[in-house]
Each structure stands twice: as structure tokens, then as C-alpha cells.
Amino acid sequence: MKKHVLVIEDDAAIRCGVVDALELDGYEVTQADTALSGIAAVGQSECDIVLLDLVLPDGDGLDVLKEVRSVRPKLPVIVLTARGEEPDRVKGLKLGADDYVVKPFSVHELTARIEAVLRRASPAPGREQVAVPGGVVDFRRCELSFDDGAAVELSEREADILRYLAGRPGEPISRDELLSEVWKIDPRGVQSRTIDMHIARLREKLRDSSANPSVIRTVRGRGYAFEAM
């Protein structure tokens, strides 16, 4: 079955170029050129992934990202933007973007990133649950349920990171290995802060102490280790 890509981009030249390249690669594509039409398309189409421009004529793409996350929390989103500054990248990642591509970009890079994000979004083999202090993580539902009745949703990437770490309990996993095996990208030239941000969010959701973490432990100079119950 063809994968369905929603492209939300107001620049007609860029949008048409991306659409043509994706259709040539066998994707089904829906287009939108405004924030409002993009949000409507998310609700109306069965898209598998969204390519989202941050600068739209009727709103900020980050607001669109928030809306996408409220309507379809697990829908993968790749941000396309000329904003390459770190604060913008960090804000987009914190809002749940799965990847960030800065213009100008090559079509080959974009399609490679789409494939990588879609692979990560696909159900992964292996254990479906893992116990954590005071609760349990269900990887199929991307949900952390606590014994006190509280439930926290994990992003697809957060669940994949935790699954990978939990698959080798007690063993330090390097940032480069996480980028290579979870993100499915070449770690060379990628800032490790990307990993650190996701680990920090995971610790917060796991109720793990940021000052003295016990669930996802930092191993100086070697990476992160999941401590089995």
C-alpha cells in the first residue's frame, strides 16, 4: 500500500517540487498551502506523515504542529523551514516534531528522512511492556501507566528510545548508537543534545529524578543505561 504524505507549504515552487519528487517515488500526496487548510487536511485525510513549513501566510507552523498533536498525537511530522537557529529547532522538537529539515534541502535528503521517520513509526518487534518504578510502559499504546491511576502518553520516538534501552538493561548505550539504531541516521555531525533532550523528557514522564536519576542512568563518557526493576 502506498504511504500518504501531507505537504503543508505555501511556496508553490517548493511544494510542487516536493510533490513531484514524492509521487515519482511512489507516495500518495495531499497538498495544503495555508495553516487552516493544512489542519483541515490532517483531519480529513488518512495521511501517514506530514511535511510542515513553519512560515505560513495565515499562521505559525508551530501552532499547526500543536493542533496536529492534539488531533493525531502519533502522526509523524517533519518540519521544513528556513529557520535553522537552535532555539527554533529545540522548540519544534519539544512540541513533538519527529525531524527538522532546514531549507534549502535536497530531495534525496528529504525522502531519506521520510523513510527513516516512517520506519520509526512502524510497530517494532520485541517486548511490548516494561516495568518501571510505580508503573508499566505499554510500547504498543505508547503509554506509561502508574499504579496511582495516572497515565502519560509517550511520543513514538520516546517509546522507541525506552524500548531500545530496556532491551539491554544495565548496559550503557552511547548517543551515537541511539542515533544510528533508533533514529536510523548517521550520527556523524549530529549534536548529542538531540538525544539529551529526549532523555530529559523521558525522565520527567517516568518521574525519574533529574538530579539523581535511577531509571535512565547517565554513565559518564559512555551514554545512558536503563536500570531494570
225 pLDDT more than 80: yes
For residues 181 and 168, what is the distance between their CA atoms, to the nearest angstrom? 13
Domain end, chosen from 76, 101, 121, is at 121
Confidence at residue 104, expressed as pLDDT on a 0 to 100 scale? 85
As a whole number of angstroms, the distance between CA 8 and CA 2 comes to 19
pLDDT over 90 (residue 98):
no
Residue 112 shares a structural domain with residue 157: no
Residue 38: per-residue pLDDT: 93
- What confidence tier does 149 reach under pLDDT thresholds 50, 70, 90? very high
Alpha carbons 13 and 88: distance in angstroms, whole number: 24
Same-domain status, 117 and 198: no
Residue 79: pLDDT over 80: yes
Q: What is the dihedral of CA 46, 2, 101, 31, to 10 degrees?
A: -50
Smallest CA-to-CA distance from 98 within 59, 125, 69, 123 is with 69
User: Could you tell me if 104 and 86 are in contact, meaning their C-beta atoms sit under 8 angstroms apart?
Assistant: no
Same-domain pairing of 117 and 133: no
Domain that residue 160 falls in? 129-226
Least confident of 82-86, 193-197, 217-221: 82-86
Residue range 74-95: mean pLDDT, rounded: 75
Q: Residue 216: pLDDT band by 50, 70, 90 thresholds? A: very high
Q: Which of 121, 156, 180 is the last residue of a domain?
A: 121
Phi, psi of 217 (to 5 degrees): -90, 140
The CA angle 168-78-59, to the nearest 5 degrees, is 140
Q: What is the CATH number of the domain that holds 209?
A: 1.10.10.10
Confidence of residue 83 (pLDDT cuts 50, 70, 90): low
Is the CA virtual torsion 54, 59, 60, 62 positive or negative? Answer: negative
Q: Indicate the range of 45-54, 96-105, 162-171, 208-217 predicted with least confidence.
A: 96-105
Q: How many Å separate Cα 121 from the centre of its chain?
A: 8
Task: Please tell me the pTM assigned to this model.
Answer: 0.57
Query: Do residues 112 and 155 share a domain?
Result: no
